[in-house]
Structure 1
């Protein structure tokens, strides 16, 4: 029988599979980066295995990818760029989610506020709304979306210029 050590170092027998919701066993399973990696792995599994991703990221064994994906291990900040390349995602998205996993949502928000100082408050509000609405999916600006956005902005501009 397999035995698991808890935080109090008591021996606890484990039967069958354990739940991902059990934060004592999988302490990072509740983080958004875990959900993001699980979803991404499902999207690319037909062309890349965890082994392939591990090798591309400089790991010798695929279990570390599994541990990150399941919430057993944190996504290391120093590996974000190479992991993003291996998972075929934008490194900025993975970095933001890894920061959140390492420092929490409030501290990450403060850090990203400081890093986004090239944007105005209004521009940042637009970007944050897009991120929230798409679930950090990073949609490309298609011709259709651009056309719709232009119409929306033209309409908003006319309303602000119309005398009351």
Structure 2
């Protein structure tokens, strides 16, 4: 009997991946939709009202989480939401938090910057775009772990060289 071994390359794992899901307070605020929907259906039937309220709240919260942007570094590219750019076209990334992050999100945010900023997530990463033909000067995006994003971008940049 002859045994064949098929070598398969492992799927490349994401060097970094994070979903910018809504904060707990946002999710709790969204859950307020349940009693509002239930009140609409109470005149029909209290059981139907309860089920409708819970179903709508679960669907609404699920939609909030499912449509949250994802930050990822994989296959030599940085992905933020639906946008992506090769890491070879990026400068040195900088992770910011506290007052520096507030300034980067506000007064220092360039009109030519591309950004994904989420309320409730304080830290940001700022990285210049080196491509002369790109009208975007830099990417500024929220992340809960700026050190890990910066390290992943730098590792990907080192691997691209």
Could you say whether these structures have the same fold, taking a TM-score greater than 0.5 normalized by the shorter chain as the test?
no
TM value normalised by structure 2? 0.24
TM value normalised by structure 1? 0.24
Q: Which has the higher helix share?
A: 1
Structure having the higher Rg = 2
